[in-house]
Amino acid sequence: MYTSPLEDVIDSHGLGRMIYADDTQIYVILKQDDYASLIPKLERCITDIKEWSTANDLKLNEDKTEVLHMTSKFRKSSSLSSVNIASVPVEPVKSARNLGVIVADDLSMDLYINNIP
């Protein structure tokens, strides 16, 4: 309940979100011509999240913040530039862990399958 107003912060930017106990994920579905407007919109949202967190005695952990641009390996897409978080550029990663599953930027499951003990 303490973080439920965070949903409003993200929603005000028109972005999708998943909020867990100690993790927040922001989702954006893009078309090719949306790239130019996406980065500033995402940066404004993250700035507002950081301000909300500070005002509520919480911390946005920039060191754990990742950007993953997922696209089909069958579709050619433009690469996504870095996202500035507190004036620090965060480069897109090739894969990220989501609820214990390693998700690759091309939506393949190879990394996850290869890391199963």
- pLDDT tens for 57-96 read 888 888 888 888 887 777 766 677 788 887 888 888 888 8
Task: Quickly state the pLDDT bin for 113 (edges 50, 70, 90).
Answer: confident
Indicate if the pLDDT at residue 16 is higher than 80.
Answer: yes
Name the residue with tokens 């893009």.
Answer: 30
Indicate if the pLDDT at residue 28 is higher than 70.
Answer: yes
Three-state DSSP at 88 gives strand
Indicate if the pLDDT at residue 48 is higher than 60.
Answer: yes
Rounded to 5 degrees, φ, ψ at 101 are -105, 135
Lowest mean pLDDT among 13-17, 78-82, 104-108: 78-82
Three-state DSSP at 108 gives coil
CA–CA separation, 63 and 103 (whole Å): 19
Could you tell me if 49 and 10 are in contact, meaning their C-beta atoms sit under 8 angstroms apart?
A: yes
Supply the pLDDT for residue 1.
57
Global pTM value:
0.80
Compute and round to an integer the Cα radius of gyration of the chain.
15
